[in-house]
Amino acid sequence: MTTARTPEQLYRELAEVMAKAFPDRDPPASVGPGTLAFADLGLASIELVVLGERLEQFYSQRLPFGPFLAGLRSRGANDLELGELVAFLQAHVSN
């Protein structure tokens, strides 16, 4: 039996993927559920698409990232909290 990835593990993996995808970015000293992709990390919307592709490569599986981002837009979200992204990964990443 496999266990689900913990949020802590997903934050570490997300940081690893982001460091490789955006090596010119300096992440803030601490990130957590309330860290914002645009305001705090300085990502552009197209970079979220790139991040989605890199996450698929990292986890070697397709993720419903497009519908996830569309859902954010449809509810009027102006930014993406990392906590939302980690919850998405926890729901969709196979172990």
pLDDT tens digits for the chain (95 residues)?
456 889 999 999 999 999 999 998 887 777 889 999 999 999 998 999 999 999 999 999 999 999 999 998 898 889 999 999 999 999 999 86
Which domains does the chain show, CATH number per domain? 7-92 (1.10.1200.10)
**Burial class, 58, CB count within 10 angstroms (exposed 0-12 / middle 13-18 / buried 19+):** middle
Give the model's pLDDT for residue 3: 65
This prediction's pTM: 0.89
Neighbouring C-beta atoms of residue 49, cutoff 10 Å: 13
- HSE, side-chain direction, 13 A CA sphere, residue 70: 4
3's tokens: 């266990």
